[in-house]
Amino acid sequence: MLYFSKLRIIFVSFISLIFILFASSNLFNFSNKLLNKKINLGLDLQGGSYLLLEIDNSPVIEQKLQNLTIIIRNYFKEKNIRINNIKLIDQKLSFSVNDEFKKIILEEFTDEESDLNPYYPRFKSHQLDIVEENNSFIINYSKQGIIEIKTSSQDQALEIVRRRIDEIGTNEPSILKRGNDRILVELPGLDDPMRIKSLLGKTANLTFRFVTNNSEDSFGSEKLKYEDKPEEAMVSKRIILSGDNLLDAQPRMNNESNETVVSFTLDRVGAKRFGKATSTGIGKQLAIVLDGKIISAPVIRDTIASGSGQISGGFTFQSATDLALLLRSGALPAPLNIIEERTVGPDLGQDSINAGMIALVIGFFLVILFIFIKYKIFGLITNVALIINLFLLIGVLTIFEATLTLPGIAGIILTVGMAVDANVLIFERIKEELKNEKNNLIAFDSGYSKSRTAILDANITTLLAAIILFFMGSGPIKGFSLTLGVGIFTTLFSVYFIARLLTILYVSKNKGKEGLI
C-alpha cells in the first residue's frame, strides 16, 4: 500500500541529511576529519600533466642472457663438458661444442629427468627457444618468455614510478598500465612537468666501483664520464656495492665543507662489504656511478665500518633532494622513454569546468521547467527529489573522494535525465490507473507498483553497461561510467523513497480531490 512507517521516514530523512552534509563539504571547510572530504578534480578540469612512458626491455633481456651464460658455463664445467665460442649478439646466446659432446648436450637440454634441473624449465618450456645448428647451439627468449619479462618489468617499474611520484607529494596522481610495456601517468594540478620527467627518465642504477687501470684489474674496466665535468676515468667492472644495499638516503648540509651532500645508510650486508672494501682500498679512488656516469670519486682515507656515508658532487639542495629520492625509491628494472606528453593549463581546466557547469545548469533548468508545467504539484515534488538526488550523488562521490572529470559531469547530466524519465513513467501509469479507479490512494499505489518493472529493467541494463565501461574503458570513460553507475542507485532511492514519500504526504491530505494529476 501507499504507506510509509515512521521508522522508514526517519531512515530516509537520516540518509538524505548525511549525504547532503557530505556534499556540502565541497563548499565549506569542516573541522571534523570525517566530514572534511572533497571531490578531486581530474586532469581535464584542474589542469596538469599527462605522460605516457614506454619501458625499454632490451637491457633486461641482455642482462638475463648474460646471467644465463654464467649458468651454462658453470653447469657444463662441472660435467667436464667443453663449450667454445660462447657469444651474446642481438639478444641471442650462441656457443659451439665438439662432436663428442653434441649428443650429451642435446640430452641435457631435452631430457626432463636430467641433472640439468632446476634449469630445465628455463631451457625447455615457454621461456627460451633452443636451436641446434651443426655443432652450435643458439638460445634466445621465446615470444612467451619476452611477454613474461615485459610483464615483470612493467610491474616493477609501476611500483617504483609510484614511489617516486608519491615522494614528491603530487595531488591524486593516476598511474596505470597500458599494454605490457607502457605506463600512463596523469598528474592533476602539475603544470610544470620538467622535474617529474627528469626523475622518471633516470633508471637510478647506483654502483660503487674502484677507479683502476685495465692492466691491473682482472675483472676488466671501462671508461666512464663524470656527470658534472668533461673528464673520464677508467673504472673497474667489479661492483662493490649497488643501490639494492641502501636502506635510506637524505639530503644534508656538510658543515665542514659547507656544501650539500646526500647522506646514505647501508643494510647489514652492504655495511660489511663497504667496510671490507674501504679497509683494503685505502688510498684508492672509489667511484660512485649513477646510470653510467660518475657522480664523484673520492679518495678513501680510512676504513668506513659504520655502514653510512656521504655522496658529494656539487649538488644544489634541489638536486640532492632528487638524488636522495631516486636512491630511496630504488632502481628501475629498465629505462623509461617518454613517448607522449601533454600539459593541460589551469585556464583550459577552468574553461572545462565552466562549460560543464553551464550545460548542467541549463539542462537541469529545462528539465525542471518541463516537469513542473507537465505535472504541476507532482512536478514540483519530482524537482525537489531531483535536487536531493544530485546531493546524494555528489555526497557518495565525496565520501570516496572520487576524481571528477569532464565525462563524469556528462554522467551526472545523464543521471538527471534518467531520474526524470522514471518519474514520467510513474505519473503516466498513475494517469492510466485513475481512469478505472476512483480511489486516489489505490490508483497512486498501483501506478508505483506496476511501473516498477519497466523502471528496474531500464536502470539495470544501464548499470550493466556502466560496469562494462568501468572495467574495460580508459580514464575518461571510467569517470563517465562511475558517475552514471552511482547515479542509477541514487536515482532509484530518490524516486522510490523521497519522491514517493512526498507524494504520499500530498495524496493523503487530498485523497478525495479529483484531477490530482
pLDDT, tens digit, for every residue of 319-372? 888 888 888 888 888 889 999 888 776 665 667 677 877 887 887 788 888 888
CA nearest to 404, candidates 36, 32, 23: 23
Q: How many CA atoms lie within 13 A of 198 on its CB side?
A: 11
pLDDT for res 128: 64
pLDDT for res 122: 44
Asked if residue 13 has pLDDT above 70, the reply is: yes
Residues 93/65, Cβ–Cβ less than 8 Å: yes
* Whole-number Å distance between alpha carbons of 191 and 187: 9
- Give the mean pLDDT of 296-318: 85
pLDDT for res 106: 63
* Whole-number Å distance between alpha carbons of 181 and 155: 9
pLDDT for res 349: 61
Q: Which residues of 292-328 are buried (b: 16+ CB within 10 A; e: fewer)?
A: eebbbbeebeeebeebebebbbebeeebbbbbbbbbb
pLDDT for res 174: 82
pLDDT in tens, 237-267: 888 888 888 889 999 988 777 889 899 999 9
pLDDT for res 245: 87
pLDDT for res 191: 61
- pTM assigned to the model: 0.65
Stretch among 212-221, 279-288, 471-480 having the lowest mean pLDDT: 212-221
pLDDT for res 312: 81
Asked if residue 31 has pLDDT above 80, the reply is: no
pLDDT in tens, 143-192: 888 888 898 899 989 999 988 888 877 767 888 888 889 999 988 877 66
Asked if residue 391 has pLDDT above 90, the reply is: yes
The mean of the pLDDT values for the chain is 83
Asked if residue 389 has pLDDT above 90, the reply is: yes
pLDDT in tens, 108-151: 665 555 444 444 444 444 466 666 666 677 888 888 888 888 98
What is the strand order of the sheet 83-89 is part of?
83-89, 92-97, 136-141, 128-133
pLDDT for res 407: 86
pLDDT in tens, 270-303: 899 899 988 988 988 999 998 889 988 888 888 8
pLDDT for res 107: 64
* Whole-number Å distance between alpha carbons of 417 and 370: 12
Residue 480 grid coordinates: 563517465
